[in-house]
Chain A
Amino acid sequence: MSIDWGEVYRGSYRELVRFLHRKVWDEERAHDLAQEAFTRALGHEPENPRAWVFKVATNLARDEARTVVRRKRHLTLLKSDAEAATRPAPTPAEELAEKEEQERVRLALEALGDRDREVLLLWDAGLDYGEIAEQTGLARGAIGTTLSRARKRLVESYEALEGENAAHR
C-alpha cells in the first residue's frame, strides 16, 4: 500500500518545524528543512513514514549545522530587508521577551547531553518510545530513564537561568 504523504505531512509538519527550530534556531530555515525532508520522502515507502521524515530532517539539520555559520552571514543581510517590509512588527517589548525566552530555552537545552537532548526533542515532537529508540539507537527500555534525566536537567537549567535573569533586574 502506498503511503499518503499528504496525510503524514498535515499530521506532522508543525511538530517537525518546531523540532527543527530547536536545532537550527531559525524559523525560516526550520521551514526550509522540514519541506526539504518531505520532498525527499516522496517516492519512498518507509515502514514508519513519520519517523522516517524526522530522521531525514535530523540529518538535514546536522548537515545544516556544518554550514550554518557561513550561510548565516549573508542570509541575515538578505533577510533583513525582505522581512522588515512585510511582517506585522511585534512591539519591541514583545519581541525582546520572545527572544529572551528562546535564548533561555536554547541555553537550557545546551546543558543537556547530545543524546538526552535528542530524545527529549523527539518526544516533544510526538514520537513514541519505539520510534525514538529506533532513531537514537537506544534500547527502548532506556528511553524512560533518558527522558527522566533530560527533563530534570532541562527544568533545572532553565529555572537557574530564570533565577539569574530575575536577579539581574
Chain B
Amino acid sequence: MPHIDEGRLHAWLDRERSGMSRAEAAEIERHLATCAECRAETAVAERLRARAGSILAGAGPARVEVPAFETLVPRPIMTTRRRRSPARAMVITAWAASVMLAIGLGWFSRDLFQNEQVALESAPMVAADSPVEAELQATGPAAGASSGTAPVGAGVEPIGATQQDLPPTPAPASAAPEAAPAPPAAPLADSAPPAMARAAEPAAPTPGERVVSGQVLDERGRPLESVAIQVPGTDARALTDPQGNYSLTLPPGADEPTTLSATRSGFAPESVAVSPDSDLEIAADFRLRSEAVALSEITAATTADSTPADAPDSARPDVPDSAPADAAAAPRPSAADAPAARGFARSAAASGWSAVAREEAEVLLRQELVTLAELPIAGIEVRVDGESPIVRLTQLLSDGTELHLFQRLDAEIDPETAEIPDGWTTVSDRRDDVHLLLAGSLGEDALTILLRRAE
C-alpha cells in the first residue's frame, strides 16, 4: 500500500466524526503498523489537530452561559373567546400586538436586561412580569380601564398600550352611526374585542362549539406570527403564535360554511372556507404572500373607526370613508401625505410641521435619516424654528402604534418644541452629530431598545 495522504490521515484521526468506514480505518492501521514514515506523519498530524483545537479554544468566549430555552421561545399566546365589551374596537388587537412586541423586545433586550441584572430568565415571557411588558402595561390607557366586562383569560388584563395614540373612541352607543348592515353580523371593528385567553389554559369548549386551528406560513414556508385570523362579521378572532399556529373558537350557530380570513400587514390577505361538517376540530392552514402594502391600509388598521365588514374580504381593515372626527376637523393633508393622514391631521393644525419627502428631509438635516429598521415609515415632517431644522419621522409598529423619531443636527431637541402627545415617553440618543429623540406610548425600556437598533 502506498503512503497515506494527509487528508486520509486526518480523516482517520477524526474517525469518530468523519464517517470513515471500519474497513478503511483497519486498512490504515495495518499500514501504520508497518510504515515508520507514515507513523511519523501521523504524529505530526496528531499534534496539528490538537494544537488547532487548543488555539481555537483561546478565541473565547471562555464561558458561555446558556439561557433557559424557555426564555427564547414564547409560549403559544392566545386563543379567542367570544363575549365582548363594547367600544373597545381595535384596542384588543393593539394589546395583543403589544404583547407580541413585548415578547420580541423582551427577547432582543435579553442582553440588556441581563447586564442590568434583571432576572428576565426567571420571568415567563408572556406574563406581565417581563420588564418591557410591565412597562407596557404601566402605560396602560385610560380607556383600557374603562370596562370590566371583558372576560379575561389567565388573569391577564387586556391593556391597549396604544390606546392613547388612537383618536378618542366613541362611546358605545354613539358608535352606531358608523355601524351598518346591522346584527347579527356586527361590524368587525365596531364590535367589541373578544377577550384573549392564553392557549396554555384554554377554556373548555362548550358543547356545539367548534374549534378551528391551523398554521399560517409565508410563501417560503416559514411560520408567520401575529397574523390575525378572523371570522368576518363576527368577533371570533385569534393571533398566530411564533410558530404560526392559531386556534379559534367559532361562534355558536356558525354552522353555515364559514370563511376565515388571515391578515397581517405586509401580506396579502387570504381567506379559507371551512366546510360545515360536524367535526368539532377543524383544520385550516393559510399561506400568505408578502406584498408592498399600502401605507394607507396600515394607517386605517390603527383607526378606531372602521367600516362594517360582512364580505369575507372586508375582514381586512378598510380605509374609512371619512376620517375620524378630530382628524376631519384639521386641515386635510394633501394626497402625498395621505398615508400618514391620521397622525398628521391631528398635529398639523396646531404646529409648524410640514410634510416633506425623504430626500428633502435629508437635505435639511444634512444627514441621512436615522430610521427604526424594518418599521414602515408613515410620514416625514420638518419644522424649522430658530436654529436648525427638526425632522419628525413617524414610524409604525406592527400593531399600528405610532412612534415619533425626532432628529436634529448639532442641537438638542426640546420635548416642548417637539410637541409630544401627553402620556408619551421619550428617550434620547445621538448618532455622531445627530441628536435623536424617540417618543411613543411605550415604556422607556422598549423605546430604548428600539432606539438602540435605529440606524
Name A's B-contacting residues (CB within 8 A): 5-6, 9-10, 13-14, 17-18, 21-22, 27-28, 30-32, 35, 38-40, 42-44, 67, 70-71, 73-75, 78, 82-83, 85-87, 98, 101-102, 104-106, 108-109, 120-121, 123-124, 126-130, 140-152, 154-155, 158
Q: Are B14 and A129 in contact (CB under 8 A)?
A: yes
B112 shortest CB reach to chain A, Å: 7
Q: Which of B11, B66, B69 contacts A14 (CB 8 A)?
A: B66
Name B's A-contacting residues (CB within 8 A): 5-11, 14, 17-19, 45, 48-49, 51-53, 55-56, 58-62, 64, 66-67, 69-70, 72-73, 107-108, 110-112, 115-117, 222-223, 242-244, 429, 431-432, 452, 455
Q: Are B455 and A71 in contact (CB under 8 A)?
A: yes
A147 shortest CB reach to chain B, Å: 5
Q: How far is the CA of A152 from the CA of B242 in the complex (A)?
A: 44
Q: Which of B19, B64, B244 contacts A129 (CB 8 A)?
A: B19
What is the predominant secondary structure among interface residues of chain A facing chain B? Answer: helix
Q: How far is the CA of A85 from the CA of B107 in the complex (A)?
A: 21
B301 shortest CB reach to chain A, Å: 25
A154 shortest CB reach to chain B, Å: 5
Given contact pairs A10-B69, A129-B11, A143-B11, enumerate 12 new A-B contacts (beta carbons under 8 Å).
Answer: A5-B69, A9-B69, A21-B59, A22-B59, A43-B222, A124-B53, A124-B56, A127-B17, A148-B9, A148-B10, A151-B10, A152-B48
Q: Are B112 and A82 in contact (CB under 8 A)?
A: yes
Known contacts: A147-B10, A148-B9. The answer to whether A155 contacts B244 by CB under 8 A is no
A67 shortest CB reach to chain B, Å: 8
Q: How far is the CA of A120 from the CA of B61 in the complex (A)?
A: 17
Q: How far is the CA of A70 from the CA of B243 in the complex (A)?
A: 32
Q: Are B117 and A86 in contact (CB under 8 A)?
A: yes
Q: Are B72 and A9 in contact (CB under 8 A)?
A: yes
Chain B residues contacting A154 (CB-CB under 8 Å) are 52, 55-56
Chain B residues contacting A149 (CB-CB under 8 Å) are 6
Chain A residues contacting B429 (CB-CB under 8 Å) are 74, 78
Chain A residues contacting B6 (CB-CB under 8 Å) are 144-145, 148-149
Q: Which of B7, B56, B60, B432 contacts A148 (CB 8 A)?
A: B7
Q: Which of A6, A17, A43, A67 contacts B244 (CB 8 A)?
A: A43
Q: Are B72 and A145 in contact (CB under 8 A)?
A: no
Residue of A nearest to B60 (CB): A102
Q: Are A86 and B116 in contact (CB under 8 A)?
A: yes
Residue of B nearest to A126 (CB): B17
Can you name 29 A-B pairs with beta carbons within 8 Å?
Answer: A5-B69, A13-B66, A17-B61, A22-B56, A30-B61, A32-B111, A39-B72, A39-B73, A43-B222, A43-B242, A67-B455, A82-B116, A86-B116, A98-B62, A102-B59, A102-B60, A105-B55, A105-B56, A109-B59, A126-B17, A129-B11, A144-B9, A144-B14, A148-B10, A149-B6, A151-B10, A151-B49, A154-B55, A155-B55
Q: Which of A86, A144, A150 contacts B52 (CB 8 A)?
A: A150
Q: Are A27 and B5 in contact (CB under 8 A)?
A: no
Q: How far is the CA of A118 from the CA of B9 in the complex (A)?
A: 20
Q: How far is the CA of A98 from the CA of B107 in the complex (A)?
A: 29
A110 shortest CB reach to chain B, Å: 12
B43 shortest CB reach to chain A, Å: 14
Q: How far is the CA of A142 from the CA of B67 in the complex (A)?
A: 36
Q: How far is the CA of A98 from the CA of B62 in the complex (A)?
A: 9
Q: Are B72 and A38 in contact (CB under 8 A)?
A: yes
Known contacts: A129-B18, A145-B6, A145-B7. The answer to whether A39 contacts B107 by CB under 8 A is yes
Q: Are A128 and B60 in contact (CB under 8 A)?
A: no
Chain B residues contacting A146 (CB-CB under 8 Å) are 7
Chain A residues contacting B53 (CB-CB under 8 Å) are 124
B450 shortest CB reach to chain A, Å: 13
B193 shortest CB reach to chain A, Å: 27
Q: Are A140 and B19 in contact (CB under 8 A)?
A: yes
Residue of B nearest to A154 (CB): B52
Q: Are B72 and A35 in contact (CB under 8 A)?
A: yes
Chain B residues contacting A22 (CB-CB under 8 Å) are 56, 59
Residue of A nearest to B51 (CB): A155
Known contacts: A39-B73, A39-B107. The answer to whether A105 contacts B7 by CB under 8 A is no
Q: How far is the CA of A106 from the CA of B18 in the complex (A)?
A: 26
Chain A residues contacting B66 (CB-CB under 8 Å) are 9-10, 13-14
Q: Are B55 and A78 in contact (CB under 8 A)?
A: no
Q: Are B242 and A42 in contact (CB under 8 A)?
A: yes
Q: Are B45 and A18 in contact (CB under 8 A)?
A: no
Q: Are B11 and A144 in contact (CB under 8 A)?
A: yes
B120 shortest CB reach to chain A, Å: 12
B70 shortest CB reach to chain A, Å: 8
Q: Are A145 and B48 in contact (CB under 8 A)?
A: no
Q: Which of A35, A129, A142 contacts B107 (CB 8 A)?
A: A35
